[in-house]
Amino acid sequence: ILNVEQSPQSLHVQEGDSTNFTCSFPSSNFYALHWYRWETAKSPEALFVMTLNGDEKKKGRISATLNTKEGYSYLYIKGSQPEDSATYLCAFDFGNEKLTFGTGTRLTIIP
Amino acid sequence: SQTIHQWPATLVQPVGSPLSLECTVEGTSNPNLYWYRQAAGRGLQLLFYSIGIDQISSEVPQNLSASRPQDRQFILSSKKLLLSDSGFYLCAWSAPGQATNYGYTFGSGTRLTVV
């Protein structure tokens, strides 16, 4: 059984503060790691696909890092805004077209 | 541009009744298609995966089945629903060989409550 763990499960952050959360995955047979944002009443939306150890990707105020040797990825949000409230999912990719998702981190930004 | 449609958005069904959820993709051909479920307090679990018409793999043993009668249509079914089938069902697609490059595109989901 493949374990993709995300922590924390939920997080409340004051507007304007920065935050980060973790995705842990098996360090063997790594192919890629995906991050998605899932806003309430919407579809999950792809944020990043990361393939190389040491990779860092950025999209506006959101960035992600990848450590394949130790099996973790961090997602950072700088200067949180109310529109950042969502569940953030990571997904492990074996390279076989099928993604295994973590349980997600539910982020709530407090105005 | 490609779009994915999933319906219905919500469904309340009694135990023992049949189920049919439909998903269609437009603007692409021969997509990989997926059904995922999120049960209460759990992550997205892959139920079925299809790389073509009549090419469907089941990822977990369960009370559900999937069919792909047309290239861009993916249907999730059950003959008799169980309480444990309640959850949020998401359909997704990816271009063949491109899931790693671009990830999935998800539908809007169906919330199924079995009562």
pLDDT tens across B35-51, in order? 999 988 888 999 999 99
Q: Read off the pLDDT of residues B43-88 as tens digits, 9 standing for 90 and up.
A: 899 999 999 998 999 988 788 999 999 999 999 999 999 999 999 9
Query: Both tokens of residue B8?
Result: 């219905």
pLDDT at A1 over 70: no
- Rounded to the nearest angstrom, the minimum Cα separation between A51 and chain B is 9
pLDDT category, A45, cuts 50, 70, 90? very high
For tokens 């139920």, name the residue.
B47
pLDDT at A2 over 80: no
Q: Read off the pLDDT of residues A53-102 as tens digits, 9 standing for 90 and up.
A: 999 999 999 999 999 999 999 999 999 999 999 999 999 998 888 999 99
Backbone angles phi, psi at B113, to 5 degrees: -120, 120
> How far, in Å, CA of B46 to CA of B53, rounded?
19
pLDDT category, B2, cuts 50, 70, 90? confident
Are A103 and B100 a contacting pair at CB < 8 A? no
Percent of chain B scoring above 70 in pLDDT? 100
For tokens 């696909």, name the residue.
A49
- Name residue A74's beta-bridge partners: A22, A65
User: B37 near B6, Cβ under 8 Å?
Assistant: no
Rg (CA), chain A: 13
Chain A residues whose beta carbon lies within 8 Å of the beta carbon of residue B96: 97
> How far, in Å, CA of B70 to CA of B72, rounded?
6
Cis-peptide into B69, omega within 30 deg: no
A29 burial via Cβ count (<10 Å: 0-12, 13-18, 19+):
exposed
Q: What is the pLDDT of residue A28?
A: 84
Are A102 and B59 a contacting pair at CB < 8 A? no
Q: What amino acid occupies position B72?
A: R
Q: What amino acid occupies position B69?
A: P
pLDDT at A103 over 80: yes
What are the residue ranges of helices labelled H in B1-115? Answer: 99-102
Compute the Cα dihedral for A45, A62, B38, A106 and give only its sign.
negative
Query: Both tokens of residue A55?
Result: 């990779």
- Report in angstroms the alpha-carbon separations of A43 from A34, A36, B108: 15, 10, 5
Q: What amino acid occupies position B114?
A: V
Chain B residues whose beta carbon lies within 8 Å of the beta carbon of residue A49: 100-103
Q: Read off the pLDDT of residues A10-38 as tens digits, 9 standing for 90 and up.
A: 999 999 999 999 999 988 888 999 999 99
Pairing outcome for strands A10-14 and A105-110: parallel
- Rounded to the nearest angstrom, the minimum Cα separation between B106 and chain A is 6
Q: What amino acid occupies position B68?
A: R
Q: What is the pLDDT of residue A104?
A: 95
